[in-house]
């Protein structure tokens, strides 16, 4: 059984907007802890989910079900101990004591909902997978809806998924040189390559636009024309942005010091990015350009990111 203390330290570490245990009890039977929907999930969302689910459920016997019915593998691990939860890029892996590994990919529409209560609450909407474990403040329920993939397999399936992914800047085992080599060998635009999960894992549309902006790289610049030092800096920027995203639970890429924003001031979503979904560049005021790359609109500033 998970002890409250471990959850508290986790809460402090990640600065969740969660209530105290007393407040939680008062708010029972159900309380939404997190809303991951800050746009389409990128790597930070996945790593944050892995940390949270690990803290809340790992080491416990978990009831696994599929209220909606489409997660047909639920019975395979129902009643087993969840050992750990791992994130790689946009993929989540649930390691079960049975040796099986659950795989979740949120895709564009997937989301989690975490609730506490004296008993399991009724599923809200089409819940594909429900993980329920006991804690000293009641039942922790993690509901997953709308994922692209939710399945349970033997370990080789995880290995196969990892084999086709590039390095993930949020993982300690990541090797940026792999990304740099892949990019340098390609004539595709850097804005296209950044979204390719086999080149670098975890970057989505917001971080693509913002990292390229900060590095002053035009999204159509061919990978082969990017210097290794530029790509190392791009990696470092993406890594810094993603880490901040995990910590904040939202995407804020602007530099407070540059814009003279006090540390205590909340940055609203529309001012949290330099170029992404903006009409004018936050830095120079010029009109932001939009082009379709890798099926998503890429935003860039023609002044700050010359070709
Ligand atoms: Zn600009």
Give 33-78 pLDDT, tens digit per residue: 333 334 678 999 999 999 999 999 999 999 999 999 999 999 999 9
Residues 6+ apart with CB under 8 A from 265: none
For the chain, the structural domain boundaries read: 4-163, 176-300
Q: Which CATH number fits domain 176-300: 1.10.8.50, 3.40.50.1820, 3.40.50.300, 1.25.40.10?
A: 1.10.8.50
Distance 213 CA to ligand 1 centre (A): 8
The pLDDT score that the predictor gives to residue 1 is 39
Distance 224 CA to ligand 1 centre (A): 25
Provide the CATH topology of domain 4-163: N-terminal domain of MutM-like DNA repair proteins (3.20.190)
Tens of pLDDT, residue by residue over 260-274, are: 999 999 999 889 999
For 18, 26, 31, 32, 116, the CA distances from 23, given in Å and listed in that order, are 9, 5, 10, 13, 11
The pLDDT of residue 153 is above 90: yes
Catalytic positions: 41-42, 90, 296
d(CA 102, CA 150): 7
pTM for the predicted model, two decimal places: 0.86
The pLDDT of residue 29 is above 80: no
Distance 253 CA to ligand 1 centre (A): 15
The pLDDT score that the predictor gives to residue 116 is 85
The pLDDT score that the predictor gives to residue 272 is 93
Distance 246 CA to ligand 1 centre (A): 27
Distance 269 CA to ligand 1 centre (A): 19
The pLDDT score that the predictor gives to residue 39 is 64
Look at the chain and count its residues. Answer: 307
Across residues 220-237, what is the average pLDDT? 98
Bridge partners, 33 (sequence order): none
Q: Considering only CA atoms, which of 225, 219, 230, 163 is closest in space to residue 195?
A: 219
Residue 199: what are its φ and ψ, rounded to 5°? -95, -50
Q: Which residues are in the CB-under-5-Å shell of ion ligand 1?
A: 281, 283-284, 301, 303-304
Distance 304 CA to ligand 1 centre (A): 5
The pLDDT score that the predictor gives to residue 182 is 98
d(CA 295, CA 129): 29
């Amino acid at each position: 059984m998970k002890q409250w203390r471990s959850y508290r330290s986790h809460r402090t570490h990640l600065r969740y907007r969660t209530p105290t245990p007393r407040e939680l009890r008062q708010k029972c039977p159900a309380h939404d802890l997190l809303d991951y929907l800050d746009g389409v999930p990128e790597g930070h969302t996945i790593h944050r989910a892995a940390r949270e689910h690990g803290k809340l459920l790992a080491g416990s016997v978990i009831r696994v079900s599929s209220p909606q019915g489409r997660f047909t593998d639920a019975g395979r691990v129902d009643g087993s101990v969840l050992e750990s939860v791992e994130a790689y890029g946009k993929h989540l892996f649930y390691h079960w004591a049975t040796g099986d590994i659950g795989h979740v990919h949120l895709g564009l529409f997937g989301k989690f909902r975490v609730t506490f209560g004296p008993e399991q609450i009724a599923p809200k909407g089409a819940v594909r997978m429900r993980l329920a474990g006991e804690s000293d403040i009641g039942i922790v329920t993690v509901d997953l809806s709308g994922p692209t993939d939710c399945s349970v397999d033997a370990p080789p399936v995880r290995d196969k998924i990892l084999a086709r992914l590039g390095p993930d800047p949020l993982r300690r085992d990541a090797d940026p040189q792999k990304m740099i080599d892949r990019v340098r060998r390609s004539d595709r635009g850097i804005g296209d390559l950044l979204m390719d999960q086999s080149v670098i894992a975890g970057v989505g549309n917001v971080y693509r636009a913002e990292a390229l902006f900060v590095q002053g790289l035009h999204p159509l610049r061919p990978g082969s024309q990017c210097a290794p030092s530029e790509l190392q800096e791009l990696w470092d920027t993406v890594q810094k942005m993603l880490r901040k995203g995990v910590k904040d639970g939202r995407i804020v890429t602007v530099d407070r010091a540059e814009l003279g924003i006090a540390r205590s001031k909340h940055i609203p979503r529309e001012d949290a990015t330099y170029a992404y979904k903006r009409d004018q560049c936050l830095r120079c005021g010029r009109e932001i350009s939009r082009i379709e790359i890798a099926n998503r609109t890429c935003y860039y500033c023609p002044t700050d990111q010359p070709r």
